[in-house]
């Protein structure tokens, strides 16, 4: 599966102490694509020549369980339940430009959409050992906001509330004494499931066109909320597809266009697209 064209680089052994730990908050509505994103992120790093390893058993179980569903049955992961909070730790490394080693332990939390959409209610369900949604958010170095473009167009206010809550919490935490200082956390807003709407060569857009796409998709209210909370140079928009495209008989590309969680055809031929770019920008 995922025939990688990029060979894995031969890194010298990197000790665990050398890993730079980065907490990355994944935020997004129910069904935004968080669990699928995290599962295929492993493959995305590997395809780009990184070494990658789940750091503990729970993390490996999380990804391997979803891997079987995806690759054996062509099914997406089942909807994450409130009690299924997973801390997903991924160790990634590569030798970058000029022989400089980059080595990170990426720490994510995968939780049910309710955790993000209705944290007050989620709090009453979580285990004591599980992180509190907002405590976790505030401990994060950067925030990856995943947005299903079709879902946000369909229900803007639901997304507005979710995004607004998270940003407000970060603002309060960062600036307990002032109201007009922007948050420091880097924010990658990544539009998911782009295989439904575009072709692979249209995935990346240059700055202005991406800005225009974000405006049309998110709407002015959400965009203003983001502008109001963040420094412009600390926000960036991306587009991705966790499952990517398959080739059809004519050599064209096909996505998964149904809105239902239909079986994924020809997953073996597909490649995740645009998953690591929003992370690399935040790690930089
Ligand atoms: N076409 C397409 N659909 C996706 C993709 N990722 C997720 N989906 C769809 O979105 C649904 C929800 O995804 P999931 O990862 O469970 O979202 P979560 O609730 O944010 O964890 C899946 O069941 C799929 O139907 C993708 O890359 N492409
Ligand atoms: Mg999920």
How far does the centroid of ligand 2 lie from the alpha carbon of residue 153, in Å?
Answer: 20
pLDDT digits (tens, 9 = 90+) for 33-86: 999 999 999 999 999 999 999 999 999 999 999 999 998 888 999 999 888 889
pLDDT digits (tens, 9 = 90+) for 192-242: 999 998 999 999 999 999 999 999 999 999 999 999 999 999 999 999 999
User: Looking at residue 179, what DSSP letter applies?
Assistant: S
How far does the centroid of ligand 1 lie from the alpha carbon of residue 193, in Å?
Answer: 7
Tell whether ligand 1 has an atom less than 6 A from the beta carbon of residue 195: yes
Tell whether ligand 1 has an atom less than 6 A from the beta carbon of residue 28: yes
User: Nearest C-alpha to atom 26 of ligand 1 is from which residue?
Assistant: 193
pLDDT digits (tens, 9 = 90+) for 77-117: 999 988 888 999 999 999 877 888 899 999 999 999 888 88
pLDDT digits (tens, 9 = 90+) for 142-195: 999 999 999 999 999 999 999 999 999 888 887 777 766 788 899 999 999 999
Neighbours of 10 (CB within 10 A): 7
Q: What is the pLDDT of residue 7?
A: 47
| CA of 30, closest atom in ligand 1 | 19
Q: What is the pLDDT of residue 261?
A: 55
How far does the centroid of ligand 1 lie from the alpha carbon of residue 61, in Å?
Answer: 19
Q: What is the pLDDT of residue 8?
A: 47
Domains and CATH numbers, the chain: 16-283 (3.40.50.300)
Q: Pick the residue with more confidence: 206 or 127?
A: 206
List the structure tokens of 217: 């998709």
Helices of type H across the chain? 34-47, 57-73, 113-117, 119-123, 133-138, 149-154, 156-174, 207-218, 220-229, 277-283
Per-range mean pLDDT, top range of 16-20, 208-212, 264-268: 208-212
CB-CB contact of 68 with 89 (8 Å): no
List the structure tokens of 45: 């790093």
User: Nearest C-alpha to atom 12 of ligand 1 is from which residue?
Assistant: 31
Collect residues with CB below 5 Å from ion ligand 2.
34-35, 80
| CA of 256, closest atom in ligand 1 | 1
User: Nearest C-alpha to atom 27 of ligand 1 is from which residue?
Assistant: 242
């Amino acid at each position: 599966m995922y025939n990688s064209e990029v060979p894995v680089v031969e890194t010298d052994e990197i000790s665990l102490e050398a890993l730079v730990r980065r907490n990355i908050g994944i935020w997004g509505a129910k069904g935004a694509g968080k669990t699928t994103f995290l599962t295929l992120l492993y493959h995305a790093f590997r395809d780009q020549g990184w070494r990658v390893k789940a750091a503990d058993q729970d993390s490996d179980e999380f990804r391997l369980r979803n891997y079987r569903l995806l690759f054996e049955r062509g099914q997406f992961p089942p909807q994450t339940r409130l009690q299924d909070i997973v801390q997903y730790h991924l160790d990634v490394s590569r030798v970058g430009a000029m022989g400089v080693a980059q080595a990170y332990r990426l720490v994510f939390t995968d939780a049910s959409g309710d955790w993000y959409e209705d944290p007050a209610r989620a709090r009453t369900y979580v285990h004591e050992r599980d992180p509190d949604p907002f405590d976790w958010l505030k401990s994060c170095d950067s925030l990856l906001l995943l947005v299903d473009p079709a879902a946000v167009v369909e229900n803007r206010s639901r997304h507005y509330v979710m995004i607004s809550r998270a940003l407000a919490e970060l603002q309060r935490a960062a600036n307990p004494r002032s109201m007009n200082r922007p948050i420091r956390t880097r924010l990658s807003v990544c539009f998911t499931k782009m295989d439904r709407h575009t072709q692979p060569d249209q995935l990346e857009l240059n700055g202005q066109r991406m800005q225009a796409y974000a405006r049309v998709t998110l709407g002015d209210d959400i965009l203003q909320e983001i502008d109001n909370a963040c420094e412009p140079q600390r926000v960036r928009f991306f587009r991705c597809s966790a499952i990517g495209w398959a080739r059809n008989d004519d050599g064209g590309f096909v996505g998964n266009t149904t809105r239902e969680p239909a079986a994924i055809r020809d997953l073996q031929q597909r490649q995740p697209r645009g998953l690591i770019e929003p992370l690399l920008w935040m790690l930089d």
